[in-house]
Amino acid sequence: MRQAHIERKTKETQIVASVNLDGTGRYDVSTGIGFLDHMLEQLSRHSLMDLELKAKGDLHIDFHHTTEDSGIVIGEAVNKALGDRKGITRFGSALVPLDEALSRVVVDCSNRPYLVWKVNFSRPKLGDMDTELFKEWFQAFAQAAGLTLHVESLYGENNHHIVESAYKGLARALRQAITLDERAIGVVPSTKGVLSSQP
């Protein structure tokens, strides 16, 4: 089983996370930010990655540190669980609708982190959460997990629908990319013979 446990403690946040890439989509998430919890539950459920996350952060200041650091910790756990990345499909893509909104997410488990973010919101907040923080989470997650990640909102009007379709798109694309390819067990999916952060 491809599993990992990560703990991160700073003056701003204390976060503990565990992932099982070969799970069934079970989750136990608590960040103190209701909307973020809802999105991380979507990530777990639709990727079939089991996720446990407990975070305590300086929410009296704002939600930035907790949001960003949760992305870092989950990303680090995914990276650790992937190991040398032998046998994985590596690439994944998804088109995910939610009512009037449609998102396209494409991922490469390249170990060369990069985020392309083409998502716009018409409101500054969803509940108590600043909508600008969603990009921060995706950036932190992609960087820590070693993913090339493209996220694009093709269209939509409801901001909740837009961001939720993006998280579900990430889940489905990631599920495809981390799946073990039965025809390439034990083989690094790269002509270089290694998936590293170096060009």
For the segment 96-111, what is each residue's pLDDT rounded down to a tens digit?
999 999 999 999 999 9
Query: What are the sequence ranges of the domains in the chain?
Result: 3-184
| Alpha carbon separation from 105 to 51, 163, 186 (Å, rounded) | 20, 12, 27
State pTM to two decimals. 0.95
Q: Report pLDDT digits (tens) over 160-182.
A: 999 999 999 999 999 999 999 98
**The tokens of 32 are what?**
């103190």
Give CATH for domain 3-184.
Answer: 3.30.230.40
